[in-house]
Amino acid sequence: MAFIIASRPARAVALVVLAAAGIGIPTRSYTQFAQAAWSTGPVFATQVERGKYLAQAGDCIACHTVPGKPIFSGNRPLPTPFGTLYAPNITSDKKTGIGSWTADEFYNMMHTGRGRDGKLLYPAMPFASYTKVTRQDSDAIFEYMMSVPPVQQENRPHELKFPYNNRSLLIGWRTLYFEEGEYQPDKTKSAEWNRGAYLVQGLGHCSMCHTPINLLGGSSEAKAFQGGLIPMQHWYAPSLTSNREAGLGEWDIKDIMDLLQIGISRRATVYGPMAEVTYNSLQYLTDEDVRAMAVYLKSLPDKETSAPGPNRMPNTPEAVQVFSEGRRVYEAKCASCHGSDGKGYPPHYPPLANNQSIETESAVNPIRMVLNGGYPPGTRKNPYPYGMPPFAQELSDAEIAAVVTYIRTAWGNRGGPVTAREANALRSVTME
């Protein structure tokens, strides 16, 4: 997981200084929200149920739970370019978890990115997004966390390289990339749009993966949702803007909703880290909330400067040779499920024609899918997903490069060619 998100520096500096001086938490917007014309989401019988729903929307489980271990007991390793972080135990255990925290301390952490003892948190904890969460929602999440059975387990210390093990360096990062503040509804937009923006920018922390990241582990707000390579994970999160070639511009609201909540759609299926997001988080959201997210995503302006151009396949004899070799492999190994015309048999067998998640600048997504195959997640609305077999054993590096080149450039697709060396490099990457 990377250190991400953006802000306008001048304000962030002021906030860091204020926070350093120990000046209290602003709580003004608590009442404002009650009056604002935007939805506060589904209604639940108890505060704990509401908190559970919100914790699912925030996908806390993804980092704070080792698969197969008790929920929120922590110590899941999160590799970053700076070393490995271990997400702590956040069960209600008083000694090793957060059982002795107060709701104020919890909100302060979500809102300011400072731990209970005031320490600056690493932005792998997505506080840069969670700062948008309202006080009411933070309190509900806290009440739910306190209802989760305590698990006594000491936190494993982070293993970060010098100088990143020094938390005071985070002041610089925060100055550049963190803007504290609850979500402020845009009064010119509908209640639905505001609800979607609140979920996508806040609890959903979608920009953590879907924004390009620079060497400092930060990204500028100007590039939010333009897509990017996820450091250490070797997956590419595509653009979510309305760019027609590389974003969601041509998608229907229904298709975006299906993809997010069910995991399959007429346009594509979720795979890699996005499959986990659907599995752990989005499948549990109500239709209304998922629709609100889709409405917001559809409205993201197209700021892309370097949309993939027309078909980037060079017109040399070698390239023609690779393309026809790719077609041969495709017809033999892939066409039965994805169709000779690349249109697939949606929603279970996704189309590869006009599927922008495989046409991005980096070809990691289609190469890894061909090497490892995969299943979309089993979800409430699609409990028995259809899968794709792995081809790592069956196909040589040259064949994989050829077939991936083929699917990235056939049928009017706008990706570029792939080399056998690129395919080979990804063989050794293990599936998370």
Q: Give, as ranges, the residues between 168 and 207 that touch ligand HEC (CB under 6 A).
A: 200, 204-206
Please report, for residues 359, 387, 404, the alpha-carbon distance to residue 390 in angstroms, rounded to integers and kept in the order given: 20, 10, 14
Q: Does 81 bind ligand HEC (CB under 6 A)?
A: no
Q: What is the DSSP letter of 90?
A: -
Say if residue 48 is exposed, middle or buried (CB neighbours under 10 Å; 0-12, 13-18, 19+). Answer: middle
Q: Does 19 bind ligand HEC (CB under 6 A)?
A: no
Q: Which of 350, 415, 416, 417 binds ligand HEC (CB under 6 A)?
A: 350
d(CA 36, CA 30): 11
Q: Does 364 bind ligand HEC (CB under 6 A)?
A: no
CB of 45 to ligand HEC, least distance (A): 21
Q: Give, as ranges, the residues between 152 and 171 that touch ligand HEC (CB under 6 A).
A: none
CB of 16 to ligand HEC, least distance (A): 16
Q: Which residues contact 418 (CB under 8 A, 6 or more apart)?
A: 363, 366, 367, 401, 404, 405, 408
Q: Does 402 bind ligand HEC (CB under 6 A)?
A: no
Please report, for residues 25, 172, 208, 236, 277, the alpha-carbon distance to residue 365 in angstroms, rounded to integers and kept in the order given: 42, 33, 18, 6, 16
CB of 4 to ligand HEC, least distance (A): 10
Please report, for residues 234, 237, 298, 356, the alpha-carbon distance to residue 414 in angstroms, rounded to integers and kept in the order given: 21, 17, 21, 8
Q: Does 388 bind ligand HEC (CB under 6 A)?
A: yes
Site string for ligand HEC, 228-267 (x = CB under 6 A): --x----x-xx-x---------------x--xx-------
CB of 221 to ligand HEC, least distance (A): 17
| Of 414, 344, 334, residue with least CA distance to 369 | 334
| Cα 399–chain centre separation | 31
CB of 166 to ligand HEC, least distance (A): 12
Whichever of 10 and 338 has its CB closer to ligand HEC, that residue is 338
Peptide bond into 317 cis (omega under 30): no
Q: Please, are residues 297 and 207 in contact by the beta-carbon 8 Å criterion?
A: no
Interface with ligand HEC by CB under 6 A: which range of 42-50, 187-195, 330-338, 417-425?
330-338
Amino acid, res. 84: T
CB of 15 to ligand HEC, least distance (A): 18
Q: Give, as ranges, the residues between 25 and 64 that touch ligand HEC (CB under 6 A).
A: 55, 58-60, 62-64
CB of 54 to ligand HEC, least distance (A): 7
Q: Which of 41, 88, 185, 202 binds ligand HEC (CB under 6 A)?
A: 88
> Which residue is at the shortest CB distance from ligand HEC?
115
Q: Does 77 bind ligand HEC (CB under 6 A)?
A: no
3-state secondary structure of 229: strand
Interface with ligand HEC by CB under 6 A: which range of 6-14, 24-32, 185-193, 331-339?
331-339
| Cα 356–chain centre separation | 17
Q: Give, as ranges, the residues between 206 and 235 that touch ligand HEC (CB under 6 A).
A: 206, 208-210, 230, 235
d(CA 177, CA 31): 28
Q: Does 141 bind ligand HEC (CB under 6 A)?
A: yes
What does residue 26 show for φ and ψ, rounded to 5 degrees? -70, 130
CB of 249 to ligand HEC, least distance (A): 10
| Of 53, 78, 408, 418, residue with least CA distance to 246 | 408
Q: Give, as ranges, the residues between 262 and 321 that touch ligand HEC (CB under 6 A).
A: 268-274, 277, 293
